[in-house]
Amino acid sequence: HAVFIGSENRDEFLNPFGVILCQYGSPKGVNGTICVVGPKRMGYVAAIGGVRHLSAFMSQMVQGIQGDHSE
């Protein structure tokens, strides 16, 4: 996962916010990114945990659809 807070964001438009990113996917190449944009003072521990949990769930779904259970 990646976390950008305020001026750490690449786009100046996002400076007032915090951004949490986490990728999901499968070894066969179906991939995506989950992103949460919230206030700089959001509960990062809970938000990161939620994004990571959703990412793991999405990866399992993608792998299940593709019949890839190697991970």
In the chain, what are the domain boundaries? 2-66
pLDDT score of 19: 98
C-alpha to C-alpha distance for 53 and 61, rounded to whole angstroms: 12
pTM (global) more than 0.85: no
Tokens of 63: 């792998």
CB atoms inside a 10 Å sphere around CB 51: 19
In which residue are the tokens 């939620």 written?
50
Per-residue confidence of the chain (71 residues) as pLDDT tens digits?
Answer: 999 999 999 999 999 999 999 999 988 787 999 999 999 999 999 999 999 999 999 999 998 887 766 54
